[in-house]
Amino acid sequence: MKYDEFLKISETLSNPLVEEWKKQKKKIIGYYCTYVPEEILVAAEILGFRMRGTGAEGTSRADTILSRFNCSYIRASLDLALEGKYNFLDGLIAMNSCDHARRMYDIFKYKVVGEILPENFPLYFLSVPHILTERGYNWLLEEFEIFITELENHFNIKITKEDLNRGIQILNENRKILKEIHGLRALDKPKISGVDILKMNVANSAIPKEIANQELSNILTNVKDSGGNSDNRARILLTGSLIDNPLFIKIIEDVGGAVVSDMLCFGTRNFWDLTEERGNPLENITKRYYYKISCPRMMDDHKRRFEFLKERIEKDKVDGVIGTRIEFCDLNGVENALYEHELENLNIPMLTLDRDYFLGDIGRYKTRIEAFIEQIE
Amino acid sequence: MKNKIIPYEILYEALETTRILVEGGPEEGELLVLKSFLKHISKVVERYLDNAENGIPVLGHHFAFPTEVFFAYDIVPIVFEGIPYILSALLPEGSESFYDLADSWGHPYHTCTSQKGVLGMTLNGMFQFDVITTPTAPCDNTFASYPVISEIHKKDVPFIIADMPFYHDERGYKYYGAELKKTILDVGEALNQEPDWDKFKKAIDYSNEALKYISEINELRRVAPCPIESMLCPLMTAVLAFIPGQPERALFFKDVLEIAKKRAKSGERAYPGKEKIRSIWPYMSIFFDIGFCEWLDREIGMSMLLDIFNYLFLEQVDTSQDVDEIINGVAKQSMEYPMVRQSQYHADTLIEDFVYLSKEYEADCAIFTAHIGCKQSVSLIQLLREALRDEVGIPMLTVDLDIGDARYTSIQTVKKEINNFVKTIL
Ligand code: SF4
Ligand code: SF4
């Protein structure tokens, strides 16, 4: 596959590889959050598909169900489901990630399954603890055990230890390549733009991981050999609410900011931590998800997140941080405010910006980002 | 000694002023429930102030914890979610300046004012907690606001968290029982006190007694016309928050029960005129306007039968058991506590609860206060509306607002929307 062709996968909801997968009568399960253990899905030969709002033209269908106080990304993804655009899925996994996303389990149950999707469409809910303790770890381990049993029963399959180890290897390879590519964006002369990185991460979340690994390693080889580009006014780290639309990063890069690092769900938060390959595979998977770089849903882990942020700022030679919040995203909104105060103490500039999933007001974002870059230049 | 709970001093003054006004104002026999409320709550707040002044440690905690468990220690309990809303009812300018302080710190405008108020008060140096504790429930606002309050407050104040699992089943109750026990012991350690389990049991006994009266009161709410004023809804929410595990809790509900019994016997309402509409409020009532509920009763003849905090799906905890069993019982109560029960679990609970209650109480309509802070509940409005329409045959009005901030949607607008809605029913 050509470089552009791979990135193009991010521009549509479904893609040719999904269609091919379906033709082979294999299963695809949508999921809402980075705490859903993809290793288990790979072990079950199920394609995990991260839920997105790509291609939604508005939220009018979703707005008949949800409130205007709900996150517009969630509304966009629901709108697509109500339009039948997610009918290629064979199941959906939600979890207690944020209040907007967790309610998708309920909305699908009452309003999508049986109407847009078939009556027997399986919905699954994972309960993930909100703090890091030994009891919490054991709870999550049990959750993953139950999840495996449910998958086995529903799809009439058997998931062995070997299957789990295969899942771990494939996912680890995937994350290692993404991490290496991240290294190339963070060079003094970045070899890859923030826009392309996001497209790559989005494409990676929507195709079989074995194929993604082949394509990503080809990209890695090619990009490694390319010349870099230091023609930027400021090196930016992007954090905050979910971004699956590269347009926002394009706005930053168009005004001279190079997005050389991030702390996003479609970014480092998803690929940074690897899973231990020796020992009990399910315990290793649980440890990876429980102790990975967390999202603000983890209530007692802000300090560790801030340490990670500082480390990225230092290692990726970041000049300024942009923290965005989709309106009504309480978790990232407060997290950004905390970062802003903490970074201020360290004299690291940060811009916090609220936005809509659809990025309606491009002019406003551009003006604010340009002013921020001028300030740090 | 410096006053460590300045907002309680403001509250005490506001309560006393309101008490004088109410005692001197209406006719004999009017506002009886409010009078009892003011009398009992004032007493408790006064006691808290005295205790704080005498150096008893101040424990800041979430409403989703039953305060009773912390009475194993000598503490002054401050329920974060209570104070901004009660002040929004009692002070002319409400808690607005505290919300604004939190906003200017960077807290998004759309977070729940119940916690934002305490954040503002903390930023203003008005609280000095000795320990802060919360469960991981029921909503994002809890996860987002508590760490900030504890962070800003003072770095060395212990912040203790109990993880409440999503599932409300035996596995979940067991897990949470262990978390709650650890929290109680950690609080003791932070305060350098040994738990006194007799005091703890006594506190639970008071709440058990109150629970008995509450279920009798709720039986009387079925009577038409409803013998209880709508105002009991917000008042009961406040009593649950401000008077846990103390004799005044039982005394207040005993008073209410007596009042309701008398009225039910003679077929009276709290106000003159007919009961025209019986309404059920699947979320909270409005706090920022103390006269609102009276307006409902008097002006449009609408009874607010129950809101989310007024029907307790709770079983009493038998205090003759051993301590571990009692804690497990309280843990279950805590997970089934109003709002926690419906907010922290799948939509089925909220829907089933209010379909059941609407039928049982023969409600003519429902009114949902869509609180800007509460994202998980506003996600379910349409599901609930359809269930009430299809299974009970009643309409539901939604009003977008902030229950603790008059500036988001004014009381005039709320009243107008209710008036228009009522016209479509009558
Ligand atoms: S952007 Fe925020 S509110 Fe929206 S789904 Fe993500 S965490 Fe939830
Ligand atoms: S009102 Fe909603 S948002 Fe506020 S504390 Fe309760 S559950 Fe959380």
CATH number, domain with residue B389 = 3.40.50.11900
CA distance A48 to chain B (A): 23
Question: Are both B129 and B207 inside the same structural domain?
Answer: no
Going by C-alpha positions, the residue among A107, A212, A136, A124 that lies closest to residue A170 is A212
Average pLDDT over every residue of A324-347: 97
**pLDDT score, position B246:** 92
- Whether A99 sits inside 8 A of B107 (CB atoms) is no
Cα separation, A277 vs A176, whole angstroms:
13
Residue nearest atom 8 of ligand 2, based on CA coordinates: B139
Percent of chain A scoring above 70 in pLDDT: 100
Compare CB distances from B107 to A70, A300, A337 and report the shortest one's residue: A337
**Final residue of a structural domain among B196, B223, B253:** B196
Average pLDDT over every residue of B35-56: 97
For A273, phi then psi, to 5°, come to -95, 140
- Whether B143 sits inside 8 A of A106 (CB atoms) is no
Query: Does a structural domain hold residue B411?
Result: yes
Question: What string of DSSP letters covers A99-153?
Answer: HHHHHHHHHIIIIIBTTTB-TT--EEEE---SS--HHHHHHHHHHHHHHHHHHHH
Cβ-count burial of A115 within 10 angstroms (0-12 exposed, 13-18 middle, 19+ buried)?
A: exposed
- Whether B161 sits inside 8 A of A334 (CB atoms) is no
Residues with CB under 6 A from ligand 2: B 81, 112, 114, 138-139, 141, 339, 343, 371, 373-374, 377
As beta bridge partners, residue A259 has: A236
B185-197 tens-digit pLDDT:
999 999 999 999 9
B141 contacts B112 by C-beta, under 8 angstroms = yes
Query: Does a structural domain hold residue B240?
Result: yes
**pLDDT score, position B6:** 97
Query: Does a structural domain hold residue B215?
Result: yes
Chain B residues with CB inside 8 Å of A67's CB?
A: 370, 378-379, 381, 400
What separation in angstroms does the CA of A101 have from each of A33, A80, A95? 8, 15, 8
Question: Are both B265 and B346 inside the same structural domain?
Answer: yes
Question: Are both B225 and B151 inside the same structural domain?
Answer: no
Average pLDDT over every residue of A312-331: 98
Pairing of strands B76-79, B58-61: parallel
Strands (E), B189-295: 277-281
Residue A341, pLDDT above cutoff 80: yes
Mutation choice for ligand 2 from B339, B340, B379, B405, CB with most ligand atoms inside 8 A: B339
Measured from the CB, is residue A78 less than 6 Å from ligand 1? Answer: no
Query: Does a structural domain hold residue B287?
Result: yes
Query: Does a structural domain hold residue B286?
Result: yes
Question: Are both B348 and B370 inside the same structural domain?
Answer: yes
Instruction: Flag whether residue B108 sits within 8 Å of chain A, measured between CB atoms.
Output: yes
B405 contacts B88 by C-beta, under 8 angstroms = yes
Question: Are both B102 and B225 inside the same structural domain?
Answer: no
B214-252 tens-digit pLDDT:
999 999 999 999 999 999 999 999 999 999 999 999 999
Minimal Cα distance from B112: which residue of A?
A330
B68 contacts B79 by C-beta, under 8 angstroms = no
Strands (E), B235-344: 277-281, 302-307
**Final residue of a structural domain among B196, B216, B237:** B196
Measured from the CB, is residue A51 less than 6 Å from ligand 1? Answer: no
- Whether A111 sits inside 8 A of B380 (CB atoms) is no
3-state DSSP assignment of residue B352: helix
**Final residue of a structural domain among B147, B166, B196:** B196
Question: Are both B262 and B403 inside the same structural domain?
Answer: yes
Strands (E), B65-170: 76-79, 131-135, 159-162
Distance A94 CA to ligand 2 centre (A): 21
Chain B residues with CB inside 8 Å of A106's CB?
A: 346-348, 379-380, 383
Question: Are both B386 and B251 inside the same structural domain?
Answer: yes
Residue B29, pLDDT above cutoff 90: no
Distance B89 CA to ligand 2 centre (A): 18
- Whether B144 sits inside 8 A of A340 (CB atoms) is no
Instruction: Give the count of domains, chain B.
Output: 2
In total, chain B counts a number of residues equal to 426
Chain A residues with CB inside 8 Å of B166's CB?
A: 96, 125, 127
Distance A269 CA to ligand 2 centre (A): 27
- A193, two tokens: 């733009």
- Report the CATH number at residue B177: 3.40.50.11890
Minimal Cα distance from A336: which residue of B?
B106
Query: Does a structural domain hold residue B134?
Result: yes
Query: Does a structural domain hold residue B418?
Result: yes
**Which ligand 1 atom is the nearest neighbour of the CA of A70?**
3
Question: Are both B112 and B224 inside the same structural domain?
Answer: no
Question: Are both B230 and B128 inside the same structural domain?
Answer: no
ipTM over 0.85: yes
User: What's chain A's average pLDDT?
Assistant: 97
Q: Report the residue of B107, B375, B382, B386 to disrupt the A interface, i.e. the one with the largest count of A CBs within 10 Å.
A: B375
Question: Are both B350 and B408 inside the same structural domain?
Answer: yes
Query: 10 Å Cβ neighbour count for A189?
Result: 12
Going by C-alpha positions, the residue among A303, A305, A302, A269 that lies closest to residue A288 is A269
Predicted structure pTM score: 0.96
Pairing of strands A92-95, B396-401: unpaired
B26: pLDDT confidence band, cut at 50, 70 and 90? low
Average pLDDT over every residue of B306-320: 96
- Whether B382 sits inside 8 A of A64 (CB atoms) is yes
Distance B343 CA to ligand 1 centre (A): 17
Going by C-alpha positions, the residue among A28, A212, A45 that lies closest to residue A117 is A28
Chain B residues with CB inside 8 Å of A341's CB?
A: 105-106
Distance A49 CA to ligand 1 centre (A): 17
**pLDDT score, position B24:** 82
Question: Are both B389 and B409 inside the same structural domain?
Answer: yes
Query: Does a structural domain hold residue B1?
Result: no
A4-53 tens-digit pLDDT:
999 999 999 999 999 999 999 999 999 999 999 999 999 999 999 999 99
- The H or E element containing residue A306 is helix A302-315
**pLDDT score, position A6:** 97
3-state DSSP assignment of residue B273: coil
**pLDDT score, position B1:** 59
Cα separation, A64 vs A53, whole angstroms:
17
What separation in angstroms does the CA of A102 have from each of A61, A107, A319, B333, B347? 19, 9, 35, 23, 10
Q: Which domain holds residue B33?
A: 6-196
Instruction: Flag whether residue B300 sits within 8 Å of chain A, measured between CB atoms.
Output: no
Question: Are both B168 and B240 inside the same structural domain?
Answer: no
**pLDDT score, position B156:** 77
